[in-house]
A and B are shown apart, each in its own frame.
Chain A
Amino acid sequence: KAGVTQTPRYLIKTRGQQVTLSCSPISGHRSVSWYQQTPGQGLQFLFEYFSETQRNKGNFPGRFSGRQFSNSRSEMNVSTLELGDSALYLCASSWRRQGEQYFGPGTRLTVT
């Protein structure tokens, strides 16, 4: 079974721009969660989607948003990028909401 895939793997954006990251969960998995990983803050939860609905949200500003499609694929969007948004953005999928979470390789976002 294929793992979680994330595209693109690397991205360089300029401050003030917006960005959209994509995540395809493991086949059959219906829950998708997003995490931000930085050297200073570690792994921090962004949001969780299940059945196309946001079920849980972490402590991030409204510039961070996401959505989930009927095929469980998910996207996250960051608007008005700031230098501090430079991070590895990880997507994790699970077959149910309270299940084992499997991570993708991440998207490395650099904001200049």
Chain B
Amino acid sequence: QQQVKQSPQSLIVQKGGISIINCAYENTAFDYFPWYQQFPGKGPALLIAIRPDVSEKKEGRFTISFNKSAKQFSLHIMDSQPGDSATYFCAASNYGGSQGNLIFGKGTKLSVKP
């Protein structure tokens, strides 16, 4: 019940295309869903996050879509650029239950071809 399943494991997209990464969870107590971007040799960087009271959140080229009934959420990267090539992690947490830890998906390695 604590798992967050992320797909695909790897993704190749052409420059200017849309990158879509999906995550699914089981624990309905999760109430905070962030996405992190990690470049080689660096720590994960917070990209965008959503709470379950909204179905979509957009920040620049990055959009989170959230489907509470399906227990799924996804990251869309519009107009993907070679500089977006990195590993992306979805995560979830039960902040309402006074838990401070994030449970991460296994990651998606994105390659954007010029």
Contact = CB atoms under 8 A, between A and B. Distances in A.
A48 B44 contact: no
B43 A4 contact: yes
Interface in B6-62: 32, 34, 36, 41-46, 49
A42 B44 contact: no
B78 interface: no
Nearest to B41: A105
Interface residues of B, number: 25
Interface string A33-48: 1010000001111001
Contacts of A58: 101
Contacts of A103: 36, 43-46
Chain A: interface secondary structure? strand
Contact of A100 (B34, B44, B103, B105): B34
Given A42-B106, A98-B32, A100-B49, A90 B101 contact: no
Interface string A99-112: 01111111000000
A44 B49 CA distance: 19
Interface string B89-109: 101010110111111111100
A98 B98 contact: yes
Interface of B: 32, 34, 36, 41-46, 49, 89, 91, 93, 95-96, 98-107
Interface of A: 4, 31, 33, 35, 42-45, 48, 50, 55-56, 58, 90, 92, 94, 97-98, 100-106
